[in-house]
Amino acid sequence: MNKDILEMERGRIGSWGELNPSRLEIIRKYAGKRILDAGCSSGAYVFHLMKIGFDAYGFDILYSEEWEGHFKGRFVIGDIHHLPYKDNEFDTVISFEVLEHARDVDKVLEEFKRVTRTNVIISVPDAELYPAFREAGLTFHHWIDRTHLNFFTEKKIKEKMEEHGFVIKYFSRINPVYPERLFFENIGFSEKLARLLTKILRKIPFRRKYLMTLALVAEKKEK
């Protein structure tokens, strides 16, 4: 993984490292008390989870200034293919938008399995495009992220987890996209009006939702 390109992409994508409500809901429902955020970026999940009663730690290939402060000692810099933790040290490993960057997904998953006692919570970009997107010449932005080395569909990520001795306990698609915004701007509406109309359309109950991220909870098989 090229650190310079990774740093560039992190700066380009403004939401990198921010809290995501859908992921937080999954964590609260399925995670154990002691959590490792593998690929923690800014550490936002570590800070938030500590505040609501979890014992959380962060690990990332890049240092972040946001780590400085009261919880500084909970963060470690290193290679995710070789985690510096003991076997079964954590109840849960969470890892959001990380596997697509790994040069060796199998090695990373073996490390996750080694350091977690119970389960992992993972999200990756969905690499299966909707037919309507292909016909319109559109794609999700993660297809143009130069740090992505791996591309997962629902079938592929489930099979990969099962190969490494995990049992899928929960699966969903999260993170909606809003093609209506592009349509409104394309027909000449101002950015402000396009944003407002898109927000109104989100409330229509029968509206087709397009979701760009796969999320899952996988437990270690009992020996």
pLDDT for 5: 46
pLDDT at position 24 over 60: yes
Q: What are phi and psi of 35, to 5 degrees?
A: -125, 140
The dotted CATH code for 3-176+211-220 is: 3.40.50.150
Residue count of the chain, please give it: 223
Query: Across 3-17, 28-42, 198-212, which has the greatest mean pLDDT?
Result: 28-42
Nearest C-alpha neighbor of 152 from the set 191, 184, 109:
109
Mean of all residue pLDDT scores within the chain: 86
Q: How far is CA 16 from CA 52, 72, 77, 147, 180, in A?
A: 22, 20, 17, 13, 23
Q: What are phi and psi of 169, to 5 degrees?
A: -105, -20
pLDDT for 192: 86
pLDDT for 128: 84
Task: Write down the pTM of the prediction.
Answer: 0.83
Residue spans of the domains in the chain: they are 3-176+211-220
Sheet holding 210-220, edge to edge: 75-77, 55-60, 34-38, 90-96, 116-125, 210-220, 166-177
